[in-house]
Every structure is written in C-alpha cells, then in structure tokens.
A = this chain, B = another copy of it.
Amino acid sequence: MNIAKNCVSRLSSYKNALTKLKNLGFTRVFSDNLADLISVTSSQVRKDFSLFGISGNRKGGYNIEELFNQINHILGKDIVHNIIIVGAGYIGKALMKYKTFEKEGIKIRAVFDSDPAKINRESSIPILPVKELKEFIQAQRIKIGIITVPENSAQLVLDQMIDAGIQGVLNFAPINLKEYPGIIINNVNIELELENVIYYTQTMENNKK
C-alpha cells in the first residue's frame, strides 16, 4: 500500500484537530466535523481513514480517544523520536527553542555547527562541532535529521548524515538535494511558499480587473 504524501499530511492535521477537540472535552466526532476543521470534504476524511483501516460506528461517528490513538500509532507518534539538527543559525535556533516538539514526542538531542563560536556543550540541547556528527548519530542511534545550513553546505551535510546512518531528513536549504535509495528527504522551502502567495495574490488582483 503506497500512501500519498497529501494523505499523510492530512493525517497529521486530523491528529491536530483531535487534540483540540479532546482538550475541549469532546468524546465523539463525525467525519463532517473533522472535514470542517481542516477544510476538506467529509468523504475525503472517510476515504483517508478507510485507506489506513480506521473505522468508526455507523451513526455514531468516531470515538475521539480511539481515533487519536490509531492515528498517532500510524504516524509513529506513540514513541519518542530523537532527532538532530545541523546548522545553529536562525532557523536552527527557532527549532531548538520550539517547546511544542517535546510535547509531541519529538526530542532534539543535539544541534551541530561548523562555527566554533556557536558551540555550547552546557546548553540543555548541546550545540556541538559538526566533526562529532557521525559519532553522535551512531552512538545515539539517531534516524532523523534536520538541515538548516546555508544552501552551499547542504549537500555536504546531507552526505555526512547519510554516511552516519540517518534515514529521514527535513531540509530547509533551497536546493534540490541528491536522492539516496531508501532515504526520505522532505523540503521546506520558505521562499517558494512566499512566491506562491505572491503569484496567487497578483493573479487574483488581475482577475478582478
């Protein structure tokens, strides 16, 4: 069964919506409600669940607690994930300081940088020299890494990560990294997303005229 990326993203969104419903004290939810909460159709919700073998009660909707646990299990959120970041710049620091990751079972174990001035072994999340990257990844059995170095260092950093055994990467550098078999690379390209907004904003303006 090959699941489309969109579908996995929607699972994350359902999970998010369920967290909110849970906090509000709800116990049951219908495909309609979830659909509204994440702006999709209710058949999309049911189709997604059906793909992952998730089922509810006809007439009764879905038990939030149960649904939440099932989705979390599918997304692998029932275990803590240890990750590392390479690049202790602005984005790297933002990620490091983001409290929600910890709550969501995402634990940043270390940040690496090539600039000696950035090293700080005493920090609650240590900032280490990138030379120690491989050793750390292997010793701590880290599987997932985030790249927040400038564009021209990103491929080098990826190669080092893969060499050390990393299997999944989230990359913030605006560059098309080389693909490796069996390795997941997902890109966050902020400038591209902003250019999308610019494009549609001007398109919409032109349509009005």
Contact = CB atoms under 8 A, between A and B. Distances in A.
Interface of A: 3, 5, 8-9, 11-13, 16-17, 37-39, 74-77, 81, 83, 89-91, 93-95, 97-98, 100-101, 104, 106, 143-144, 146, 167-170, 174, 176, 179, 182, 184, 186, 188-205, 208
A5 B196 contact: yes
Copies of this chain in the oligomer: 2
A192 B97 contact: no
A176 B38 contact: yes
A32 B186 CA distance: 23
B191 A104 contact: yes
Contact of A167 (B5, B146, B201): B201
A48 to B, nearest CB: 13
A196 B204 contact: no
Contacts of A93: 90, 94
Contacts of A198: 75-77, 81, 106, 144, 168
A17 B151 CA distance: 13
A83 to B, nearest CB: 8
Given A39-B176, A90-B94, A91-B94, A76 B202 contact: yes
A167 B204 contact: yes
Closest 8 CB pairs of A and B: A168-B201, A90-B94, A168-B197, A184-B200, A12-B192, A76-B202, A12-B195, A186-B197
A8 B189 CA distance: 13
A174 B182 CA distance: 29
B192 A9 contact: yes
A75 B199 contact: yes
Contacts of A167: 201, 204-205
B74 A199 contact: yes
Residue of A39, A83, A94, A169 ringed by the most chain B CB atoms within 10 A? A94
B101 A191 contact: yes
